[in-house]
């Protein structure tokens, strides 16, 4: 990870720490550790102390850490994490109070209490708040993650044929993501027919029928950053109900996207989408209208009815209203949006956006894809 | 999930609870929630109270929960989890003390404290201990997960050719796992050449050379249960160093597997493998010699130098010693082992176990595979 980028993040975090009178912060949440160090592995903690940032890791990760974290002092712990923290706290003389992230487990906190001589306090959302607005380098990587997702879906469309199973189709999409040099942001959801009424359906052995519907919720993770897209298609024609639902969800999404702008209340964007669905006498979805994403697939801000605050420029969010009718159907449409001062930029503009299965047609240069429905 | 299986698990857990004088247990760790309810989703907690087991979930999961948890009372929470727990604790009249798993976050515990009127206590390892030894139905599913892994690797072997990237090869293996109706236990590791010296290397754009080595660490998750296999291959011949290392790791693994038996000290199995490597003057690995697995890819018991206790019949573990020489090579060999009273059963007996890339040859019935090196 670029030293200047990490240095900028640490400065922001230190400002927050000094406001909250935190001298030494122990970061235990993996995504937060990645943010302040660049480290992409697991089972490691970061410590921000007076003059330095430490990464406490173990031998499985030391070689990787040396490569990924040029700004950190890397500590190869052999024993328990709590003891490594205690030794470090002892070495850093000025440390009288150690602050631990609230996402730390009760068990880890108990072990820290037993080992560390300093006073222990807790704090929340220090790194999460910094992570919520993205800098230029993060936005560039998220854009690439979004375009890889789009390309992977396009490559998979020709495999959406009667007979394919949910599990196979998910596997094909995942393979395209890998081929494009990325990984999954989360486990791909492929749901045929009424299975789509479960928003988090796990792909199974159900085969696609001649007249059927498909919901695909997926994302590529590129250089540690996520993207998140949902698309729905109808195969071999559409029932009147499916068409109605699709149109309403599309309108709800468009209305919410139009409402996105720095300074707008988060609850307002959430309400706009729900209202379109409620006015059409369709069941209003129980999940949020969207969520921030970045290193984690779900991170601040969360677009829910009880959300606080306003959208900020540099936040990257999904807008994903849906309609779920158990036993009948499920439709969700999800795009990735960058919040700007003047409004928004859609990061997934070229991703097929029609309930009819599109056929990608490329011109001779492989650019300017067109969609024939 | 089978009602009788869940009932058996709840009986075991209740016995532990009554020993520790726990009347009401809040289970927050996803794998533990799955174990006591059968629920496979996320963001949900289980509560074991006097006469009943509750699943606190939200609208994204209610339909799934009705299907997966016939033994539970399902509560569809709209607001925060802590408030849902508070309402439940109020309803269950006898509850004066509520016990929370130690894996719960400090933040969640704080919110519970604010909402719940009852006294809060913590407890650890109640469900984890029960999960450590597997019943017949779990072993059957793990066996299938292991055989799917083996089959997926066999199907992928013909793609191990110069020019393929780590990322593509990982994608091909994952696709085979999907085709066999399973998912990944964890993100597949494919490491070419010296990349294998990082035990948790992430597959990248490196292409396989004509003379090269491959490490693949992967596993299929079937019906919620994991498997975990590592294999190493040398392409186009082997250096003397690689051959020496491979042989020593293979001997270390064989010695440790031979030591596995119910009643044997865990540290002894760990030591046996390390000793073989130390005696060959090769660097001894920093990770554990193995770990239990089941619903989680890493669970009790952990085969480490500071482990306590003995192996028990019904535990399912990996044995996976390795040798890592940064800039040069990495070799790890990992199989899945069921601990029995008389010794052990290898659950991955047919998985190619040679540094030479095997070619699967099937007889006309598609059975009795042979390996030609």
Domain holding A201: CATH number? 3.90.230.10
B69 touches chain A (CB under 8 A): no
Clarify whether residues A285 and A179 are in a common domain. yes
Q: Which of residues 116-145 of B touch A (CB under 8 A)?
A: 122, 124
The pLDDT score that the predictor gives to residue A170 is 97
Interface test with B, best of A173, A176, A178 (most B CBs within 10 A): A178
Q: Which member of B102, B201, B286 has the closest CB to residue A105?
A: B102
For chain A, the distance separating the N- and C-terminal CA atoms, rounded to the nearest angstrom, is: 43
Summarize the confidence of residues B228-241 as an average pLDDT: 94
Residue that is last in its domain, among B131, B164, B181: B131
B113 touches chain A (CB under 8 A): no
SS3 B224: coil
What does R_g of chain A's alpha carbons equal in angstroms? 23
Q: What does pTM read for this prediction?
A: 0.91
| Residue A303 near residue A295 (C-beta atoms within 8 A) | no
Are B102 and A79 an interchain contact pair (Cβ–Cβ within 8 Å)?
Answer: no
The pLDDT score that the predictor gives to residue B78 is 84
Q: Is the pLDDT of residue B275 over 70?
A: yes
The contacts of residue B306 (CB under 8 Å, 6+ apart) are: A79, B267
| Residue B232 near residue B196 (C-beta atoms within 8 A) | yes
Q: How confident is the model at residue B358 (pLDDT cuts 50, 70, 90)?
A: low
φ, ψ at A118 (rounded to 5°):
-65, 165
pLDDT (tens digit per residue) in B7-27:
999 999 999 999 999 999 999
Clarify whether residues B266 and B147 are in a common domain. yes
Clarify whether residues B157 and B234 are in a common domain. yes
B163 touches chain A (CB under 8 A): no
B109 touches chain A (CB under 8 A): yes
A198 preceded by cis ω (within 30°)? no
Interface test with A, best of B60, B120, B306 (most A CBs within 10 A): B60
Domain ranges, residue B323? 136-372
> Low-confidence residues of chain A, pLDDT below 70?
93-94, 358-373
The pLDDT score that the predictor gives to residue B364 is 41
Helix (H) or strand (E) segment spanning residue B184: strand B183-184
Interface test with A, best of B103, B122, B178 (most A CBs within 10 A): B178
Domain holding A29: CATH number? 3.40.350.10
A253 touches chain B (CB under 8 A): no
Residue that is last in its domain, among A87, A112, A131: A131
Clarify whether residues B89 and B35 are in a common domain. yes
* The CA-based dihedral angle spanning residues B255, B256, B257, B261, taken in that order and rounded to the nearest 10 degrees: 120
B301 preceded by cis ω (within 30°)? yes
Query: SS3 letters for chain A?
Result: CCHHHHHHHHHHHHHHHHHCCCCCEEECCHHHHHHHHCCCCCCCEEEECCCCEEEEECCCCHHHHHHHCCCCEEEECCCCHHHHHHHHHHHCCCCCEEEEECCCEHHHHHHHHHHCCCEEEEECCHHHHHHHECCHHHHHHHHHHHHHHHHHHHHHHCCCCCCCEHHHHHHHHHHHHHHCCCEECCCCEEEEHHHHHCCCCCCCCCECCCCEEEEEEECEEECCECCCEEEEEEECCCCHHHHHHHHHHHHHHHHHHHHCCCCCEHHHHHHHHHHHHHHCCCCCCCCCCEEECCCCCCEEEEECCCCCCECCCCEEEEECCEEEECCCEEEECEEEEEECCCCEEECCCCCCCCCECCEEECCCCCCCCEEEC
Q: How many of the other CB atoms lie within 10 Å of CB of B307? A: 19
Region for A274 from its dihedrals, namely left if φ exceeds 0, alpha if ψ lies in -120 to 50, beta otherwise: alpha
B341 touches chain A (CB under 8 A): no
Residue that is last in its domain, among B131, B163, B188: B131
| Residue A324 near residue A283 (C-beta atoms within 8 A) | yes
Q: What is the Cα–Cα distance from B355 to B314, expressed in whole angstroms?
A: 31
Two structure tokens written together for B259 = 């030591």
Are B78 and A286 an interchain contact pair (Cβ–Cβ within 8 Å)?
Answer: yes
Q: For strands B299-303 and A220-221, give the pairing.
A: unpaired
Q: Which positions in chain B touch A205 (Cβ < 8 Å)?
A: 181
Clarify whether residues B194 and B82 are in a common domain. no
Q: Which member of B104, B175, B178 has the closest CB to residue A105?
A: B104
Clarify whether residues B208 and B111 are in a common domain. no
Interface test with A, best of B122, B175, B304 (most A CBs within 10 A): B175
The pLDDT score that the predictor gives to residue B94 is 66
Q: How many Å lie between the alpha carbon of B338 and the closest alpha carbon of chain A? A: 25
Q: Is the pLDDT of residue B42 over 50?
A: yes
Clarify whether residues A220 and A80 are in a common domain. no
Q: What is the Cα–Cα distance from B146 to B220, expressed in whole angstroms?
A: 7
pLDDT (tens digit per residue) in B105-163:
999 999 999 999 889 999 999 999 999 999 999 999 999 999 999 999 999 999 999 99
What does R_g of chain B's alpha carbons equal in angstroms? 23
Are B107 and A100 an interchain contact pair (Cβ–Cβ within 8 Å)?
Answer: no
pLDDT (tens digit per residue) in A209-254:
999 999 999 999 999 999 999 999 999 889 999 999 999 999 999 9
Q: How confident is the model at residue B327 (pLDDT cuts 50, 70, 90)?
A: very high
Q: Which positions in chain A touch B41 (Cβ < 8 Å)?
A: 200
- The residue written with tokens 């200047």 in the block is A4
Are A167 and B174 an interchain contact pair (Cβ–Cβ within 8 Å)?
Answer: no
| Residue B40 near residue B47 (C-beta atoms within 8 A) | no
Q: Which positions in chain B touch A107 (Cβ < 8 Å)?
A: 102-103, 122, 124
DSSP B91-159: HSTT-SEEEEETTSBHHHHHHHHHH--SEEEEE-SHHHHHHHB--HHHHHHHHHHHHHHHHHHHHHHTT
Nearest CA in chain A to B224: A202
Q: What is the Cα–Cα distance from A306 to A304, expressed in whole angstroms?
A: 5
Say yes or no: ipTM exceeds 0.90.
no
Clarify whether residues A240 and A346 are in a common domain. yes
Q: How high is the mean pLDDT of chain B?
A: 92
Clarify whether residues A11 and A112 are in a common domain. yes
The pLDDT score that the predictor gives to residue A368 is 44
Clarify whether residues B55 and B120 are in a common domain. yes
Q: Which member of A102, A183, A200 has the closest CB to residue B106?
A: A102
Q: Which member of B122, B174, B200 has the closest CB to residue A64?
A: B200
A155 touches chain B (CB under 8 A): no
What domain count does chain A have? 2
Clarify whether residues B127 and B157 are in a common domain. no
Interface test with B, best of A63, A166, A334 (most B CBs within 10 A): A63
Q: What is the Cα–Cα distance from A193 to A208, expressed in whole angstroms?
A: 8
Summarize the confidence of residues B272-294 as an average pLDDT: 97
Two structure tokens written together for A112 = 């820290």
B174 touches chain A (CB under 8 A): yes
Clarify whether residues A151 and A248 are in a common domain. yes
């Amino acid at each position: 990870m670029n030293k200047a980028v990490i240095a900028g993040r640490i400065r922001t975090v230190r400002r927050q720490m000094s406001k909250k009178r935190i001298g030494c912060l122990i970061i235990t949440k993996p995504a937060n550790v990645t943010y302040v160090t660049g480290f992409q592995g697991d089972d490691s903690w970061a410590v921000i102390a007076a003059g330095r940032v430490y990464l406490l890791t173990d031998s499985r990760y030391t070689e990787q850490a040396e490569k990924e974290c040029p700004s950190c002092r890397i500590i190869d712990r052999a024993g328990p994490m709590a003891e490594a923290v205690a030794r470090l706290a002892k070495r850093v003389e000025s440390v009288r109070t150690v602050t631990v992230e609230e996402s730390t487990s009760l068990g880890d906190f108990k072990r820290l209490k037993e080992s560390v001589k300093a006073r222990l306090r807790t704090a929340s959302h220090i790194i999460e708040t910094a992570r919520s607005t993205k800098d230029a380098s993060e936005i560039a990587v998220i854009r690439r993650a979004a375009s890889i997702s789009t390309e992977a879906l396009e490559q998979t469309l020709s495999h959406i044929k009667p007979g394919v199973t949910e599990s196979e189709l998910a596997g094909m999409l995942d393979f395209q993501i890998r081929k494009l040099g990325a990984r999954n942001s989360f486990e791909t959801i492929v749901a045929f027919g009424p299975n789509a009424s479960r928003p988090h359906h796990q792909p199974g052995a159900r085969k696609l029928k001649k007249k059927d519907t498909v919901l695909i919720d997926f994302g590529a993770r590129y250089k540690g950053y996520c993207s998140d897209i949902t698309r729905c298609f109808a195969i071999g024609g559409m029932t009147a109900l499916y068409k109605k639902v699709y149109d309403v969800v599309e309108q709800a999404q468009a209305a919410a996207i139009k409402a996105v702008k720095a300074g707008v209340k988060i609850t307002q964007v959430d309400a706009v989408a729900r209202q379109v669905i409620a006015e059409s006498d369709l069941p209003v979805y129980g999940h949020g209208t969207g969520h921030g994403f970045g290193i984690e697939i779900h991170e601040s801000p969360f677009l829910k009815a009880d959300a606080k605050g306003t959208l900020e420029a540099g936040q990257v969010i999904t807008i994903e209203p849906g309609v779920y009718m158990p036993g009948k159907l499920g439709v969700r449409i999800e795009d990735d949006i960058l919040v700007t001062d003047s409004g928004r930029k859609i990061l997934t503009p070229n991703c097929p956006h029609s309930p009819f299965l599109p056929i990608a047609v490329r011109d001779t240069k492989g650019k300017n894809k067109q969609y024939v429905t």
